[in-house]
Structure 1
Amino acid sequence: MKNRGLRRGWVRHIAWTGIAAGLGLTLAACTSGEERERIEALPCPAVAILGDTEKLTVYKDGGRDITDLVLRAEIDQAVTQCEYDVDDGIIYVDIAYRGTAELGPGAETRQLSVPTFIALTEVNRSVLRKEIRPLNLNFSGGSRRIEFTQTIEETRVPYVAPFDGSAYELLVGFQLTADQLELNRAEKAARR
């Protein structure tokens, strides 16, 4: 009889282990689904156009006369979308920005490349890195004014919980010379 009790206890233990394992698998499946939903709900880093860098004015040979004007361009909107790779600790961010560009009378070509930048910052803090990227503008046909869209795919942003994408901001703009920046600030002050 004693032997039977041991066997029953052993069978009961196996049954409970099986139920617990099954329940564990069910809970694990729920947890991974919940985890997936939690990750999908994490925010992307914010994106903004850095003040005073949204406009670019290019003159030829350092002139300031309207006849020397080569190009005026403006970035007017920027957006992001992102995907988290929790295992590797990376947020992959796709950035797109758009704007307009207009050839001036001083333009000698219909294809121009102008420098833009993307900077990764901690929100309201320091710049972590900055990349200069060309924006190629092609004024085809007789067009003097065009709209452009620039996309930058899979910019890598570090992810270390509990700091998610909201801890970062991506800034875009034209990479300006000191004279171009001064001109933008002067024009902005004149409009006030």
Structure 2
Amino acid sequence: MSFKSVRSLAAMAAMAGLLSSCQSVGSVFVDPEPNIGPCPSALSLYDAHRMVEFHGDDIVYENVGFTGEVIAVRSLCSYYGERPILANLEIDFGFGRGPAAQGRERTYEFFVAVTRRDMAVIVKEVFPVRVRFDADEDRVYLTETIDAISIPRADEGTSGVNFEILVGFELTPEQIAFNRSGQRFRVSAGQD
């Protein structure tokens, strides 16, 4: 199983035996054979789909530093015969710079994980995305592309419905608790 990022190639030495990819989804689509079933679901994980950084103990707008949110996740896949599922992923992000943000640049870390549907994580990989805010910007929107996620199948009857592709931010326990509480801050709140 492997992921290739258009912006960075991340290697996971511990999973070297599981990581391999021979072709991209685009090269597979020239073959007219249809998938034997649906693609894996691709979605953001609720507990990790947004990130809010606070400076200070109070959870108030004035203490908000950098923020991030997974806005949308799209995937396209191909598989047939005994071939593995090959999926490409596009992730739309919105990043914010709140009143307590320190500096104009921030490196965010997000993960892409392949799971057995509603069960266990098969593989997870973390990717950095560096965001620079110009002097007059408090929001930046980016699309990241992960190319050639390869998911081996037990046999040719194994459908993509058995798997999920999950996306989210790498968060601290406090940030996860904040997300689970239902509270949220967006730099763009109240703006068009």
Same fold (TM over 0.5): yes
1:54 aligns with 2:42: no
- Deviation, structure 1 residue 64: 4.4
Superposition pairs of residues 144-163 of structure 1, within 5 angstroms: 144-159=138-153, 160-163=155-158
- Report what 1:142 is aligned to: 136
- 1:26-54 per-residue CA deviation (whole Å, 9 max, x = no partner) reads xxxxxxxxxx5443464321101111211
1:185 aligns with 2:180: yes
- Report what 2:16 is aligned to: none
Distance 1:122 1:41 in 2: 18
Counterpart pick for 2:162 among 151, 159, 167 = 167
1:132 aligns with 2:126: yes
Q: Is the 8 A contact 1:92 1:154 kept in 2?
A: yes
Classify the secondary structure of the residue corresponding to 1:39: coil
Higher CA-based Rg: 1
1:99 aligns with 2:96: no
Counterpart pick for 2:38 among 40, 43, 51 = 43
CA 1:41–1:162: 2 relative to 1, 3 Å = closer
- Deviation, structure 1 residue 103: 0.1
Number of positions where the alignment pairs a residue of Structure 1 with one of Structure 2: 153
- Deviation, structure 1 residue 168: 0.8
- 1:116-145 per-residue CA deviation (whole Å, 9 max, x = no partner) reads 111101112111111111122222341111
- 1:90-117 per-residue CA deviation (whole Å, 9 max, x = no partner) reads 2221111113111012222222111111
- Report what 1:113 is aligned to: 107
Distance 2:182 2:41 in 1: 27
The higher relative CO (CA closer than 8 Å, separation ≥ 6) is in 2
Distance 2:74 2:115 in 1: 16
Gaps of 5+ in 2: 1-30, 185-192
Q: Is the 8 A contact 2:33 2:80 kept in 1?
A: no
Q: Is the 8 A contact 1:118 1:171 kept in 2?
A: yes
CA RMSD of aligned residues (A): 2.4
Gaps of 5+ in 1: 1-35
Q: State the one-letter code of the partner of 2:88.
A: D
